[in-house]
Structure 1
Amino acid sequence: MSAAPSSSSAPAPAPAWDPGQYLRHSGHRARPFIDLLARVPEFPATDGRPPRIADLGCGPGNVTRLLTERWPTAHVTGFDNSPQMLEQAERLAGPTSGGGRLDFAEADASGWAPPAGTYDLILSNATLQWVPGHPDSFPAWIEALAPGGVLAFQVPGNFDAPSHVLMRELSESERWRERLGGHLRHADAVLSPTAYLERLVSLGCEVDAWETTYLHLLEGEDPVLDWVKGTGLRPVLTALASDAEAREGFLSEYRELLRKAYPVGAGGTVFPFRRVFAVARRPATA
């Protein structure tokens, strides 16, 4: 058994990201992006200029690249605030097959506000749940769209799932509260599909909002733990990064809880995952 964690009153550090861990489940993680992209309408004519597309929270760039397949003449820029993710993404940068280009830049979604009319599509995939108050940025992002442009995003809606509830309960337990209390997000990190729709309709947009629960069939030993190590568990792993004994102690407790909540079945481990989607189109004319 590891030693009890030491007390800390410091604020939670920003999560450190591990592109390799994140990409371990890249096939499952890409599916919501593909489903979101399928609902994005075509842009109005751009009078000969290449379409401009922003991927806000691009991560390692593996799905950002799919935007260049849908719009091969576009200038696509992926934005992220993680140096580790951007280093991985930069390997994909360069000209595209249709004469467009793909590049990446550092930016934090919490303060990102490009000039009016800059983009034809602003897209964000599984990022806004990390941005407190992100709906307050919608007016600036809609303003940054060209007439007829689109804001499209998807966020996890599974904060009430056992994976996240158990993670929070363990972090707030007597053993871990002083070091990890308050580090993790709750269900209010995202809005309901209805609330997103109402926010975006109030800005004059034509809106398509929905939710989907995916039943991911995961393989391997402790696959749900392996999944959350790449995403939701990052604040815990970051907070305990300098204390290997405490880190392994937390993971050991959490692993046992997940094994009971997500038992292995005949074909693998079923991991239900709810996601919330919205596609908002700015009017083509005033």
Structure 2
Amino acid sequence: MPTPTWDPAQYLRHAGHRARPFTDLLARVPDLPGDPPRIADLGCGPGNVTALLARRWPTARVTGYDNAPEMLAKACAGPTGDGGRLDFAHADVRTWTPTEPHDLIISNATLHWVPGHTDRFPDWIAALAPGGTLAFQIPGNFDAPSHRLLRDLADSPRWRNRLSGVLRHENAVRTPVEYLNRLTALGCDTDAWETTYVHLLPGEDPVLDWVKGTALRPVLTALAGDPRAREEFVRDYREALRKAYPASGHGTPFPFRRIFAVARKEGPGGR
């Protein structure tokens, strides 16, 4: 799958809804062993939720990693409260391995972009300090209309040749049980769960506006050199989304399933 071009402004249009799963994930992360703690945020995007890590652990050294220069350009590095530091760096999550022990490795809505991401778990767990935590949340809505309609359209005769291999499929993520089993087998005390949020989105065609910041990016990137074709694809996708997500008098309900996992590595004295 080609690397999509990102639009930070479009992504942040729904920043409040997108940040909520991260705050729910963060609420389940236990106390960290280091003082000050060392934290990595994998797939930090524009850094808006990375800043929440510095707020919770104001003495921490926090580094957000992303492979999109457009996103990193919006991230704000600098000192934080009580002597902490917030930094950002370019890195590919597919190959990133810590060069020093970390107390927390966390990822928000990123690992579904990484084929075979569970194969990275052993290296990340090995890099945690005793008592450290690996935590992540990822979308689990690949069978939702927003994604099924997108795949179906891309695979239609009109678009199949141009968009083959561009989109992720439903196997991009595992079930909560699979994540729990994989992380527990690596010696972690693991909590895994799923939640379906029902976002009430305002405005005209808000589901399309949402996916323009995420799921639709690979198509927009693939058709970037052909504005007429891109406009035609978006038009057909818009019509399908309107039928799948009808607006109510208060906005458009948009159910969105998320999968979470928090895995704590065994500490010096055991779990």
Same fold (TM over 0.5): yes
Provide the C-alpha distance between the structure 1 equivalents of 2:242 and 2:136, rounded to a whole number of angstroms: 31
The aligned residue for residue 268 of structure 1 is 251
The aligned residue for residue 97 of structure 1 is 81
Provide the C-alpha distance between the structure 2 equivalents of 1:64 and 1:14, rounded to a whole number of angstroms: 22
Root-mean-square deviation over aligned CA pairs: 0.9
Percentage of pairs with the same residue: 70
Unaligned runs of 5+ in 2: none
Provide the C-alpha distance between the structure 1 equivalents of 2:225 and 2:210, rounded to a whole number of angstroms: 22
**Aligned with 1:213 (options 187, 190, 196):** 196
The aligned residue for residue 161 of structure 2 is 178
The aligned residue for residue 71 of structure 2 is 85
The aligned residue for residue 264 of structure 2 is 281
Q: Secondary structure at the match of 1:53?
A: strand
Map Cα deviations across residues 35-84 of structure 1 (whole Å, 9 max, x no partner).
0000000012x3xx421000000000000000011000000000000000
Are residue 25 (structure 1) and residue 9 (structure 2) matched? no
Provide the C-alpha distance between the structure 1 equivalents of 2:10 and 2:200, rounded to a whole number of angstroms: 18
The aligned residue for residue 132 of structure 2 is 149
Provide the C-alpha distance between the structure 1 equivalents of 2:262 and 2:225, rounded to a whole number of angstroms: 41
Q: Quote how far apart the aligned CAs of 1:237 are.
A: 0.3
The aligned residue for residue 229 of structure 2 is 246
Moved more, 181-190 or 226-235: 181-190
Q: Quote how far apart the aligned CAs of 1:198 are.
A: 0.1
Map Cα deviations across residues 206-232 of structure 1 (whole Å, 9 max, x no partner).
000000000000000100000000000
**Aligned with 1:158 (options 141, 150, 153):** 141
Are residue 111 (structure 1) and residue 95 (structure 2) matched? yes
Q: 2:82 is aligned with what amino acid?
A: G
**Aligned with 2:27 (options 6, 21, 38):** 38
Q: Quote how far apart the aligned CAs of 1:280 are.
A: 0.1
Task: State TM-score, norm by structure 2.
Answer: 0.98
Q: Quote how far apart the aligned CAs of 1:182 are.
A: 2.2
The aligned residue for residue 3 of structure 1 is none
Q: Secondary structure at the match of 2:73?
A: helix
Q: Quote how far apart the aligned CAs of 1:13 are.
A: 2.7
Unaligned runs of 5+ in 1: 1-11
Q: Quote how far apart the aligned CAs of 1:242 are.
A: 0.9
Provide the C-alpha distance between the structure 2 equivalents of 1:270 and 1:181, rounded to a whole number of angstroms: 30
Aligned length: 269
**Aligned with 2:47 (options 48, 56, 61):** 61
Provide the C-alpha distance between the structure 2 equivalents of 1:98 and 1:249, rounded to a whole number of angstroms: 52
Task: State TM-score, norm by structure 1.
Answer: 0.93
Are residue 228 (structure 1) and residue 206 (structure 2) matched? no
Q: Secondary structure at the match of 2:167?
A: coil
Q: 1:69 is aligned with what amino acid?
A: R
Map Cα deviations across residues 146-174 of structure 1 (whole Å, 9 max, x no partner).
00000000000000000000000000001
Q: Secondary structure at the match of 1:154?
A: strand
The aligned residue for residue 150 of structure 2 is 167
